[in-house]
């Protein structure tokens, strides 16, 4: 509980009641990602984004207390199912993460968790290995990008060509290292034709087609998530197909802001807005300062 929050509701002072103010796009994405998390998943929410931090902690509190959750790069295994969270961490080494942790290991030791239990069989017969308890990096992982293309190649490195940059991004960070991650979610916080391109200038995480061709152990990107919609991948070339629309967004609007032709996935769904319960827990137990509402 912080000084600026109402002592009885835990809401930011002056805010509207927790479940009446409409969900922001960040809250909608966080709730959507939380829904995708299963109780026995092992997930790293690595480099700091407030949306994926909130999503994973929300899942642990709502339906996945057995989620093995590495928060931050530095490598804290956290369980907040029964722990009070005062506010979202500000960086991936925010010291309050230590207060939620059951284990800490050196950052370089993170890479000693890249081998899944069962080796390659983990991906073929995932349910057989769900009974194992150990932490693995990771069943799901959220990958940022300044560009993503129709084959799911994510680019955090920069724009330009032939080793030159017209725009320099953060770099690949650790993204190209996570070859054993089961399902990566390419995670875009803006959706326009500059970002959703036919072919990424550089590649920090290759798309699922390249994962298959190069026989990398994991599945590679399985979804692209933006504030407007979700894509999955289908066909021999693993091409992006529209798998879901967030409330208030349309296929025409997505087509207007995407460089490739929009095709609906056979698995297309309309994504339900955050429920009152989801929003209440997000706002009163995870994001008490309303970071996701800004």
**Where do contacts with other proteins occur on this chain (CB under 8 A)?**
35-36, 38-39, 62-66, 68, 76-77, 79, 81, 98-99, 101-105, 109, 111-119, 123-124, 126, 129, 132-135, 179-180, 182-183, 208, 212, 217, 219, 222-223, 230, 232-234, 238, 243-244, 267, 269-272, 274-275, 277-278
Min CB(85)–other proteins separation in Å: 14
Min CB(81)–other proteins separation in Å: 7
Other CB atoms closer than 10 Å to residue 62's CB: what's the count?
Answer: 19
Min CB(120)–other proteins separation in Å: 9
Query: Which is closer to other proteins, CB of 38 or CB of 289?
Result: 38
Min CB(62)–other proteins separation in Å: 7
Q: Which residues pair with 76 in a beta bridge?
A: 71, 104
Tokens of 200: 């990424």
Query: Which is closer to other proteins, CB of 202 or CB of 231?
Result: 231
Query: Which is closer to other proteins, CB of 67 or CB of 291?
Result: 67
Query: Which is closer to other proteins, CB of 201 or CB of 278?
Result: 278
The CA–CA distances, whole Å, from 109 to 41, 63, 74, 76, 136 equal: 20, 29, 9, 11, 12
Min CB(140)–other proteins separation in Å: 9
The Cα–Cα gap between 46 and 71 comes to 6
The Cα–Cα gap between 189 and 162 comes to 27
The Cα–Cα gap between 156 and 57 comes to 25
The Cα–Cα gap between 91 and 46 comes to 10
């Amino acid at each position: 509980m912080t000084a600026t929050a109402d002592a009885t509701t835990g809401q930011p002072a002056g805010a509207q009641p927790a479940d009446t103010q409409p969900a922001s796009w960040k809250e909608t994405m966080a709730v959507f990602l939380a829904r995708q998390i299963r109780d026995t998943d092992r997930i790293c929410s690595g480099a700091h984004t407030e949306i994926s931090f909130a999503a994973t902690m929300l899942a642990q509190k709502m339906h996945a207390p057995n989620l093995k959750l590495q928060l931050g790069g530095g490598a804290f295994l956290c369980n907040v199912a029964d722990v009070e969270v005062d506010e979202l961490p500000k960086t991936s080494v925010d010291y309050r993460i230590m207060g939620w942790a059951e284990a800490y290991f050196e950052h370089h030791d993170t890479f000693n968790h890249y081998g899944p239990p069962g080796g390659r069989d983990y991906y073929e017969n995932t349910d057989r290995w769900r009974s194992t308890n150990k932490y693995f990096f990771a069943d799901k992982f959220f990958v940022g990008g300044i560009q993503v293309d129709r084959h799911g190649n994510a680019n955090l490195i920069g724009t330009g060509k032939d080793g030159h940059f017209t725009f320099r991004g953060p770099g690949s960070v650790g993204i190209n290292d996570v070859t054993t991650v089961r399902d990566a979610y390419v995670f875009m916080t803006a959706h326009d034709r500059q970002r959703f391109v036919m072919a990424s200038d550089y590649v920090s995480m290759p798309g699922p087609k390249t994962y298959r061709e190069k026989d990398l152990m994991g599945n590679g990107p399985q979804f692209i998530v933006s504030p407007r919609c979700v894509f999955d991948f289908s066909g021999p070339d693993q091409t992006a197909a529209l798998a879901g629309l967030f409330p208030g967004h349309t296929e025409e609007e997505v087509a207007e802001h995407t460089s490739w032709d929009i095709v609906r996935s056979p698995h297309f769904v309309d994504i339900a807005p955050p429920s009152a319960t989801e929003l209440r827990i997000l706002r009163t137990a995870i994001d008490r300062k309303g970071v996701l509402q800004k």
